[in-house]
Amino acid sequence: MSHRTSRGGFTLVEALVAIVLLSVGALALGSLLARSSRMAVASASTIHGTAALSTEVGRLNALPFDQLPAAGETCTTVSTPPFPHTLCTRLTDVSATVKEVRVRVTPSAAGVRADTVNFQRTLPGGNPVLTTP
């Protein structure tokens, strides 16, 4: 008569299945971490770009109308971290009392979009020119 005793523990097949399942989970988690890291970098670039754009727009809005730069385009390149970019400002004389201003921030990093703000400055007491988008 044969007598079988049950042994505690895992078989080799059970251990291999567990290792495969853990490996698949680790790969999925690694992919998720890589994607979230890319998104965080893109988000930080957007924040820095918006800050640079906002600073330039605020500077141009703070200047009196008669002290705005002459019509034309000027570009400044910033190569220092954390946000290397090119900032271009274009002023156009619409009339004697109205100037159109375009500010554009173009990041140096690949995959980050440029951002642009257009606005008009009017001489106090002048009539603004209405434009349609």
Which residue ranges make up each domain of the chain? 12-122
103 and 73 Cβ atoms separated by less than 8 Å: no
Q: What is the pLDDT of residue 41?
A: 83
- What's at 6, amino acid-wise? S
pLDDT digits (tens, 9 = 90+) for 17-74: 999 999 999 999 999 999 999 888 888 888 988 999 999 999 999 999 889 999 999 9
Q: What is the pLDDT of residue 6?
A: 64
Q: What is the pLDDT of residue 1?
A: 55
79 and 103 Cβ atoms separated by less than 8 Å: no
pLDDT digits (tens, 9 = 90+) for 91-133: 999 988 899 999 999 998 877 789 999 999 988 876 555 554 4
Residues near 127 by beta carbon (within 8 Å), at least 6 away in sequence: 97
Q: Which of 77, 95, 79 lies closest to 87, judged by CA? A: 77
According to CATH, the topology of domain 12-122 is Pantoate--beta-alanine Ligase; Chain: A,domain 2 (3.30.1300)
